[in-house]
Amino acid sequence: MTRTITYAQALNEAIAEEMERDERVFLMGEDVGAFGGIFGVSTGLFDRFGPKRVIDTPISETFIVGGGVGAAITGMRPIVELQFADFLYNAADEIISKMGKWRYMHGGLFTVPMVLRMPEGAIGGAGPEHSQCPEAMLLAASGLYIAIPSTPADAKGMLKSAIRNDNPVCFFEHKALYSMKGEVPDGDVTIPLGQADVKRSGNDVTVIAWGRMVHVALEAATLAEVDGISVEVVDPRGLRPLDTETILGSVRKTGRVLITHEAGKTGGASAEVAAIIAEEALADLEAPIRRVCGIDTPVPQSSHLEPFVTPTPAELHIAIKELVAM
């Protein structure tokens, strides 16, 4: 049985279920308590679980993350939240070198079972410092898992897994998806981290997309279908672990691949995926690897300019047609 709920409700349910299941799990961040989080993700949790499980913090990102690490290495399982993913720079050392390296640096004597949740992405007018998709920044930070769910079902199943996982997980939630509705299975359903999902099967072109761009890719696939092009949309659902088996399997099947993300193209994670494809499946390609990503500017403060920086379904559709024509 399934229910139709929003992505935000799915996250809310995941947190509540895991907090019910394990008393060591707690949520900490700015305005997550009685306010319910500025995007409403933690609505009702404070009333249900109280101030020792749902904790408001000062505006102190190094404490939100570094304090989370301190709690994680002394028996707790924190879910810490940065109010915007852009704030990861304010706690970069805490994320990359404390959360990500504490276990390794100390010879495996500790685990850091914490989840760092971050609302990401452009939603219209939030500006360059509240709209970023910074997942690529964490690619070089070995020790950290990177999870990026694109649907309510993925969000719930993956957040439950992330909370149960003994590794530190950076969990990116696109703000524009919070109100998106989708079917979520009943019961205690977890989705393993590092497992890609083929969101749409096809034979002619592989489109690899994550986060909000999964939905842009699905729209483009529908447009391409009218042209008789069968598009397969592969959602890696995260960057580490990266499900190279599913990605390469699809590429070998179609021979044509387009990688798309909302973040700017240069230094974006598409480059990493492209390099892996080039190393492992060059002989299977019928056309060069193609990337259609965000433009290399900050997300504009102007809401008039903002729509121009991220790929549209039409732009992906054009790229798909060009790939097939090669």
Q: Does 89 bind another protein (CB under 8 A)?
A: no
Q: Which amino acid is at 6?
A: T
3-state secondary structure of 234: strand
* Residue 228, C-beta contacts closer than 8 angstroms, at least 6 positions apart: none
* Interface pick for another protein out of 29, 33, 66, 264 (rule CB under 8 A): 66
Peptide bond before 241: cis, by omega within 30 degrees of 0? yes
Chosen residue from 68, 119, 152, 300 binding another protein by CB under 8 A:
68
The window from 59-67, 150-158, 172-180, 217-225 that contacts another protein (CB under 8 A) reads 59-67
Stretch that binds another protein, among 74-82, 156-164, 249-257, 277-285 (CB under 8 A): 74-82
Helix boundaries (H) for 180-257: 213-226, 244-254
Does 58 help bind another protein (rule: CB under 8 A)? yes
Q: Which is nearer to another protein, 65 or 324 (CB)?
A: 65
Of these, 1, 108, 140, 279, which contacts another protein (CB under 8 A)?
108
Strand 197-200 relative to strand 181-185: parallel, antiparallel, unpaired?
Answer: unpaired
**Those residues with Cβ within 8 angstroms of residue 93's Cβ, 6 or more apart along the chain or in another chain:** 62
Give 10 or 72: the residue with its C-beta nearer to another protein.
Answer: 72
Answer yes or no: 130 catalytic: yes
User: Which CB atom, from 194 or from 202, has the smaller least distance to another protein?
Assistant: 194
* 94 makes contact with another protein (CB under 8 A): yes
Q: Do 216 and 121 meet the contact criterion of CB atoms below 8 Å apart?
A: no
Nearest approach in angstroms of CB 278 to another protein is: 24
Phi/psi at 9 (5° precision): -65, -35
Site for another protein contains 73 (CB under 8 A) = yes
Using CB under 8 A, pick the residue from 20, 35, 44, 142 that binds another protein.
Answer: 142
**Contact between 301 and another protein per CB under 8 A:** no
Pairing of strands 290-291, 257-260: parallel
Q: Where are the alpha helices (DSSP H) in 169-235?
A: 213-226
Segment near another protein (CB under 8 A); pick from 95-103, 128-136, 208-216, 224-232:
95-103
Measured distance CA(1)–CA(58) in Å, rounded: 41
**Least distance to another protein, CB of residue 270, Å:** 24
Q: Which of 130, 215, 261, 317 does the annotation list as catalytic?
A: 130
**Would strands 115-120 and 169-174 be described as parallel, antiparallel, or unpaired?**
parallel
What is the spatial distance between Cα 210 and Cα 269, in angstroms, rounded to a whole number?
Answer: 10
Cβ neighbourhood burial of 193 (10 Å; 0-12, 13-18, 19+): buried
* Residue from 12, 57, 206, 250 in contact with another protein (CB under 8 A): 57
Residue 62 within binding range of another protein, rule CB under 8 A: yes
Min dist CB 141 to another protein, Å, is 12
Distance from C-alpha of 269 to C-alpha of 289, rounded to nearest angstrom: 14
Catalytic positions are 130
Interaction site with another protein (CB under 8 A): 26, 52, 55, 57-58, 60-63, 65-76, 93-94, 97-98, 102-111, 113, 142-143, 145, 165-167
